[in-house]
Amino acid sequence: VNVNRSQTATASARLEQIPAPLVPPDVDTPCPIVDLAVLDRNIAAMQAAMDAAGVRLRPHVKTHKSTEVARRQLAAGAQGITVGTLGEAEVFADAGIDDIFVAYPLWCGGSKAARLRAVHERTQLMVGVDSVPAVEVLAKVFTGAPGAPGVLVEVDCGAHRSGVRPTAVGEIARAADRAGLPVHGAFTHGGHGYASPAARPAAAEDERSAMEIARCTLDAAGMSTDVLSAGSTPTALLAAQPPITEMRPGTYVYNDAMQVALGACEPAEVAFFVAATVVSSAVDGQVILDAGAKATSRDVVTQVQGLGWLPGYPKAEITALHDYHAFVSIPDGSAAPALGEVVSLVPTHVCPAVNLYDELTVCVDGRVVDQWKVDARGRSG
């Protein structure tokens, strides 16, 4: 209990340091704002860290879903991108990005077979698998085709979502090889590093040791281990060591209240905010913002008290999000934004927040410099 208490205290102390961004005057709220200088710094810093570690960076694009941001990551030195859905792969392939890893146990039902073949024809494609039946379905999709995508076998290193134990990769890899799917290695995602600040180094170590066991298992099965891919934003900087060859963080581009609370980014590294207006202060001890559940993420995260964070108003707590209303509770005697004031809301979890918008307003020092499309918005399958 004491450990949890001290972690909570540290988390709120970190959240209190998030600087309130300059919001452009006369912005139409709710408005998703990207701080371009912070975004570019985040992209450069992650790239520099991976370069220094000798690990390839293959960022997950599910956070930004934006071809403009992906181009910036590739220009900074990223080698290919990671996607979570075939729909995302299609959007980024259409934009000319030709090195794509679908880090997901794709099951090719419905139109997915034809769609996957079409993406494979125009990209260098890699697909995740975690079962022999999925390998068989995938191989059938490419029967008679001039080539087939490479596969990485997914390993569960402790997140207990998808993936097999690292000692079990051999059977799946051999099945893929027999079915004519080129095996390149294995991948894992230490999602359990999200549990607490202390869970981050432990999950990073789990990623590394799982990839080491997978490497030995694949070696023993006579399979390639060219790619040993891991990563999440909370573990990326900690796990980037041999035998891992590739890292796939995604959230680091924008960050959010959860990453700040976990200590996975600095408070000044938050690059995405939702500008919102105080539209009502009619009820005592409360203000209402115009950024409800259709404008920011409803994710409840253990490290953050409330459904988002308002820089400059550390005692204000977002207690509920209705479709168009954010309820902000204001304890007696603490600072409250005034009726009509525009505030900046840091989402608890940025990925679903971005997915609510067609376009983002890109700013430098409170000036609007661009509008970027969220190209793969809603491409969830």
Q: Give residues in contact with ligand PLP (CB under 6 A).
A: 60, 82, 103, 189, 231-233, 248-252
Cβ distance to ligand PLP smaller for residue 83 or 93? 83
Report the alpha-carbon distance of residue 183 to residue 176 in Å, rounded.
Answer: 7
Q: What b/e readout covers 124-137, taking b as 16+ CB neighbours within 10 angstroms?
A: ebbbbbbbeebbeb
Q: How does DSSP classify residue 24?
A: P
Tokens of 3: 């450990």
Cβ distance to ligand PLP smaller for residue 249 or 337? 249
Report the alpha-carbon distance of residue 14 to residue 11 in Å, rounded.
Answer: 5
- Within 10 angstroms of residue 81's Cβ, the number of other Cβ atoms is 26
What is each CA distance from 257 to 41, 248, 254, 304, in whole angstroms?
18, 20, 10, 7
Cβ distance to ligand PLP smaller for residue 192 or 248? 248
Q: Cβ 155 to ligand PLP, closest distance in Å? A: 11
Q: Is 213 helix (H, G, I), strand (E, B) or coil?
A: helix
Contact status, residue 303 vs residue 262, Cβ threshold 8 Å: yes
Q: Cβ 237 to ligand PLP, closest distance in Å? A: 11
Q: Residue 127 corresponds to which amino acid?
A: V
Cβ distance to ligand PLP smaller for residue 170 or 231? 231
Q: Cβ 144 to ligand PLP, closest distance in Å? A: 30
Report the alpha-carbon distance of residue 303 to residue 284 in Å, rounded.
Answer: 27
Contact status, residue 277 vs residue 271, Cβ threshold 8 Å: no
**DSSP states of 78-111:** --SEEESSHHHHHHHHHTT--EEEEEEE----TT
Q: Cβ 24 to ligand PLP, closest distance in Å? A: 28
Name the residue with tokens 């608890």.
348
- Within 10 angstroms of residue 3's Cβ, the number of other Cβ atoms is 10
Cβ distance to ligand PLP smaller for residue 239 or 287? 239
Report the alpha-carbon distance of residue 102 to residue 40 in Å, rounded.
Answer: 25
Report the alpha-carbon distance of residue 100 to residue 93 in Å, rounded.
Answer: 8
Q: Cβ 251 to ligand PLP, closest distance in Å? A: 4
Q: Cβ 148 to ligand PLP, closest distance in Å? A: 21
Q: Cβ 356 to ligand PLP, closest distance in Å? A: 17
Cβ distance to ligand PLP smaller for residue 83 or 278? 83
Cβ distance to ligand PLP smaller for residue 47 or 329? 47
Cβ distance to ligand PLP smaller for residue 252 or 272? 252
Task: Indicate the residue whose CB is closest to ligand PLP.
Answer: 232
Q: Cβ 250 to ligand PLP, closest distance in Å? A: 4
